[in-house]
Amino acid sequence: MKIAEPIRLPCGVTLKNRLAKSAMSENMAKPGYFAGQEFYNLYKRWAEGGIGLSISGNVMIDRKHLGEANNVVIEEGLDNHQGLKEWASAYGNTGNQIWVQLNHPGRQIPKFLSTDNVSASAVPFDKPMDTMFATPRTLTEGEILDIIQR
């Protein structure tokens, strides 16, 4: 097995090589949860570097629940789809894969962003993490179904 050889994953996708960039949080979205030119430039550089698979940082599914102040959000009703298309186009015809990491932070929303943290149960963080995150409220069945639908 050589790092430059293609690999077929169990899901059926073939990667052109065995190099992958794991997920990291870019924290670079523009106002409106928009993936701007910085995203394009960064991911284009990774694509041109020959990475077979690039997994994006957190892309939130709900603008009311962010993990960081500058997260990209993909949500119905947001007018930011052009930025997402441009970000994806950074990979162009390179043959490399870019996979988006969809995220809902649940109880891990910093207090400075929101105190409406939600989770399957209202279990607070232990000390000292409780100073950064509010005790979550328990999601209703309807809210759980809404998160799944997103």
The domains of the chain are located at: 14-105, 109-150
Question: Among 54, 43, 92, 100, which Cα is nearest to 73's?
Answer: 100
CB 3 within 8 A of CB 19: yes
Report the chain's mean pLDDT, rounded to a whole number. 92
In angstroms, the CA 107 to CA 114 distance is 10
Which pLDDT score is estimated for 93? 83
Which pLDDT score is estimated for 115? 87
- DSSP E strands: which ranges in the chain? 7-8, 14-15, 20-21, 53-60, 72-73, 97-103, 118-119, 137-138
Structure tokens belonging to residue 129: 């993490």
Which pLDDT score is estimated for 81? 87
How many percent of the chain have pLDDT more than 90? Answer: 79
In angstroms, the CA 81 to CA 72 distance is 11
In this prediction, the residues of the chain whose per-residue pLDDT falls under 70 are: none
Which pLDDT score is estimated for 46? 92
Tell me the pLDDT tens digit for each residue of 79-97. 888 888 899 888 888 889 9
CB 87 within 8 A of CB 130: no
The answer for residues whose C-beta is within 8 angstroms of residue 32's C-beta and 6 or more apart is: 78, 79, 80
